[in-house]
Structure 1
Amino acid sequence: MASGDCRKDDFPEDSRVDSGIDSYRSMLKSEDPRTELSGPRDKLHPAEERLDSAYGSASLTVESLSDIVEGCTLEPAAPSSGLSEPEENFITSITEDGDTILHLAIIHEEDLIAQQLIQIFPKEVLDIQNNLYQSPLHLATYLNLTEVVKSLVAKKVSLELQDHEGNTALHVACHHGQTMCATEMTGDISPSKLELVLETQNWRGLACLHLAALSRQHQIMKLLMKKGADLNVQEGTSGKTPLHLAVELHDAALVKLLLSRGANVDAAMYNGCTPLHLAVGRQDAAIAHLLCQSGADTMLRNMEDETALDLADGNDDILALFPFDDVQISGRSVVSVNF
């Protein structure tokens, strides 16, 4: 059976949203031509210390974040009001890892500071991705900062942005079981935009529903189903649907859930294998029984011209699921023949 594990490593470099700070700086300059915003990208930390943007850092103190944010009441319509030149330089700086001050506040799990910054920044800045292509929404979701996610979604940040592994923030929520974050991201969004996110595949070819299935996140699966996710979406490497994945995981509860919601019991992978082929090939009689009860076609053949019965390998529990009132003609079974 085919089972690809391709990883897309050469995604386009210019897909990252990295112009938000420049736009914001231009906005500040247009408001006050005297403002000088040139400065080193690593203004936020000493040169010898590297701020790691991979969901963790300890080189920036909470006090330094609090001091710069305290008292700032910046509104998008009047970006320069209430900020001194050093504050503007600080807020519009990016670290050597591509993190904005908002990224850093989230990394340090400083919810209050992050909330203040979300109100300060326009959407263009909120969508900036760091060197790992993580937006603030990615980071807040990974760390399960539900209120921060809620505020970012309220500011209409992009849900389509993909990180260095091709994951959207919703992918992250599905993989790590952040149900409340997933709920916020799928709430106040147009059906067309949500459909686009739900169809997006990461560099391993996995959509959100696939990741939720692989992580056994049944609650998130139910949420995505309620929001109209395609139950028969195929992953990009071998064409497995969520039902195929549930069978491979021997997750009978998820198999039942998917079948009860209308998943195609006879969906075929790129090599022609149905969920029943996988269940029988893995000698899982219980799940094979569930599939047969849901009407699985026992006579479908894969690209190697095998039916599920051909893969039973003498397993009596599985053989008992198949009818024996058949005859063979030219090597193919003909069921329910009347003599």
Structure 2
Amino acid sequence: FHACPGDFRRYTADGLCALGHRAGLEVVCVLPVHSIAQTLGWILWEYAQEKGGRVRRALAWTAAYAATRLSNRTDTALVRNANTFQAVFRRPIRKPLTPASAWRRRAVPVACARVPTMLMPGELRLLHYLAEERYTGEGAIVDAGCFLGGSTLALADGLRRNLRRRGVEEEKLIRSYDRFEIEGWTVGSFFPESARAGESFRPLFDRNIEPYAGLVDVHPGDVRLWPWEGGPVEILFIDLAKHWTVCDWVTWQFFPHLIPGKSVVIQQDYLYHHWVAWIHVTMEFYSEYFEYVCDTGSNSVVFLNTRRIPEEFLREKTVESLTTAEKVELMDRAAARFKGRKAKLLRSAKQHFLEMLEES
């Protein structure tokens, strides 16, 4: 189906989106063409996420996992060709929208389509929505753990649309943090086989975000080398709290600058894996000052700051300062807030963290 025969835009990511919209469809996701196995696995998973149900999700995950084990690489020859995008559409969902759900109906930002990212499509939708529709300009946007720029582009494209709508001049309102060092396990999937662990990928990040460079202030290296001096924080996206010491530092530096009733904290690893229970401990310890908003099914959970955290209550080393018994109580409380797979994941995270503490 080509609504505009002869129009070259029909082959681009923007063109694909336009074709779907003209047909009365919503865009679920736009990505570069991958192997057929990846494409089928991805469609199965998106379908299961859309329809819901534990059994359906389990079957879809199993099928997607099996398919992507067969072929998990993008054809590099295709990636270099602008005419190699794929899109998935759906019939419009006729449900009332709320701030906690409106982002689910958005298309994945086209700006993110050609940048490798570890984020799920729903997370990109969420970040784009927050920057475009919820951001007011009262504080900064913190992009803590930007990797190759997936989160950065989602935030930046949303921010640009926000500023244009309000007639505000662009400036560097996004503060992005990352070590920009290749890790061994990412070689072959996010980086070529010739890449070496420890090498910098900062030049690649810079190329990826180049169209939005005027909106992004980049802070390379260990985030703990950059004490926060940027005033209020309106959107705080955290994807680098891979150890409780880093989690404590981020909490200590940024939480005092949240704006009650307005600032949102997105903990990207909250529902990702059982490695990061210190995030559960942290958010539960400060739960009196936050309200759960929504989550993306896997990975990210969004919290709204509802009250300013008293200076005397905020701890410099929140997780480290707590006894094991206190940590256990907080992790149990966090798990009790969820059901099914999510609750099971949090309980597994608790067990893993306790084992880490015993070994340390």
Q: TM-score, length-normalised on structure 1?
A: 0.31
TM-score (norm. length: structure 2)? 0.30
Q: Answer 1 or 2: which has greater helix percent.
A: 2
Query: Greater strand share, 1 or 2?
Result: 2
